[in-house]
Amino acid sequence: MLKKIFPLLTTCLLSACITSPTGRTQFAIMPDDQINQMGLQAFDSLKKEKPVSSNGQYNRVANCIAGAITREIGGGNWEIVVFEDKSPNAFALPGNKIGIHTGMITLVDNQDQLAAVIGHEVGHVLAKHSNERASQEMAVNGGMAIVQAVGAPQSALGQTAFGLLGVGAQYGILMPYSRVQESEADVIGVDLMAKAGFDPRQSINLWQKMEQASQGQQPIEFMSTHPSHATRIQSLEQHMPQAVTIFQQAQAAGKQPHCS
């Protein structure tokens, strides 16, 4: 293993390191356009395989919340799709794609909790976690096959590619984000929702709610790929004073979304 990891570290030292939004050093060797293309292909595959919801209210709520959040990162052309699926799940992919299951919309109590979900997922994209994971996979196992494999999601390698992008659970491949990546997405997500005028304190209520729901007979897919621990809520509570300050500033500036 050390023989495989050493070249990865050497490459990082030479020039393949980037800095995340929280200041963390990351190993990322894939060009952004390449990882974005993987995200686009994966999202297209999901739209072909999963029914898209025609519920007008669900689509309005999802687009309203996601639109408010993505405007805080410069906007851009984000595609938001609500999938007709009772499992509480949501994801964001490189290439500005956001997917939300109807089950997640019906599970949350308010717009702020759904904003916490979307903010967290967009946080993974902003921090380039898919690039980080795919780069590590390529450095250890070599080859570019993982890039092409996303076009064949039913294949074993294709499922691995989907897992690296964070949507592998759709194909039975669970590849959870690391503790560091999860914490990073939490911080970025609560700050994003706060900047958009959503109450960041609801993020703690959300994770508590998800934790309780996952203890039922059917484990929640979202929790299987985004493990929740007591340390997550503790970290959010520690960061909350800063996020609440951002929220109050946003509210004072007139950012008071009414999406639900």
Catalytic site positions: 121
- Facing residues of 168 across strands? none
- Facing residues of 182 across strands? none
Distance from C-alpha of 163 to C-alpha of 171, rounded to nearest angstrom: 9
Look up residue 176 and give its DSSP letter.
P
Distance from C-alpha of 60 to C-alpha of 106, rounded to nearest angstrom: 14
- Asked if 146 and 175 count as a contact pair (C-beta separation under 8 A), the reply is no
Structure tokens at 104: 């997640």
What's the gap between Cα 187 and its chain centre?
12
Structure tokens at 135: 């780069």
